[in-house]
Amino acid sequence: GLVLRALFANVQLPWVVLIGLIMLAAAGREVMARQKRRFSGWWGFGVGSGSMFISSFAVTMLALIVVVGAQPWYHPQYAIPLLGMLLGNTMNGIALSMNHLTQTAWQQRSIIEQRLMLGQTRDEAIADIRGDSMRTGMIPIINAMAAAGIVSLPGMMTGQILAGSPPTEAVKYQVLIMFLIAVGTGFGTIAAIWATSRRLFDHRHRLRLDRLKLT
């Protein structure tokens, strides 16, 4: 609370970027820690962090400039909460999809290698695994969107209603947030699956499971 109060009082882009990068580093660490088999070295942290950076930061900037219209556009009162919600949900999707992809590739390594020997490319050899990984990563946000307003009241909408905002206004904001989270999660999951599947093979389309280590 003290950090946010100081940040809101000093609206400067470098401070907002610094806080955003700290949040990104923490989320990247969590993604790496949730992998049963993760890449060795920098790749174990870089794939998840890079995917979240591309998706969450891009969607946050788009929302701040086009939808929110804050002045300035990087005002921390809007940028930090929005980025936090996007990072949190994108983190879950990326962690689930990467874990499913690496685990399934390890379990089905003989099948993948047989496909490669039959002349398939690396993309063709794991196409079904990538599809299942994408589905796994998107399940949490799809469930949240399906149940929002019927089974459960999302946190932002509940907070606005408790603060005295009209229910219709709270619903409008929540629909917008859910849409942004779904876009960010989908974009990040696609990027993570693409980067992970590329790292699992070398330039000669050979399966390189030696790049994974058991945690």
Q: What average pLDDT does range 106-132 have in this prediction?
A: 93
| pTM for this predicted structure | 0.87
How far separated are the first and last CA of the chain, in Å rounded? Answer: 35
Phi, psi dihedrals of residue 154, rounded to the nearest 5°: -60, 155
For residues 24 and 87, is the Cβ–Cβ distance under 8 A?
yes
pLDDT greater than 80 at residue 198: yes
**95: containing domain:** 2-214
Count of domains observed in the chain = 1
Q: How far apart are CA 102 and CA 210, in angstroms?
A: 12
- Of 215, 180, 192, 189, residue with least CA distance to 59: 180
pLDDT greater than 80 at residue 8: no
- Of 66, 87, 54, 74, residue with least CA distance to 192: 54
pLDDT greater than 90 at residue 133: yes
pLDDT greater than 80 at residue 123: yes
For residues 171 and 149, is the Cβ–Cβ distance under 8 A?
yes
SS (H, E, C) 157-203: HHHHHHCCCCHHHHHHHHHHHHHHHHHHHHHHHHHHHHHHHHHCECC
Q: What average pLDDT does range 132-156 have in this prediction?
A: 82
Among residues of the chain, what percentage have pLDDT more than 70?
Answer: 96
Q: How far apart are CA 215 and CA 204, in angstroms?
A: 27
Q: How far apart are CA 78 and CA 87, in angstroms?
A: 14
pLDDT greater than 90 at residue 24: yes
What digits encode the pLDDT tens for the residues 150-173?
Answer: 766 676 777 777 777 777 777 777
Those residues whose C-beta lies under 8 Å from the C-beta of residue 172, and which sit 6 or more positions away, are none
- The pLDDT of residue 7 is 78
- Of 11, 76, 75, 86, residue with least CA distance to 53: 86
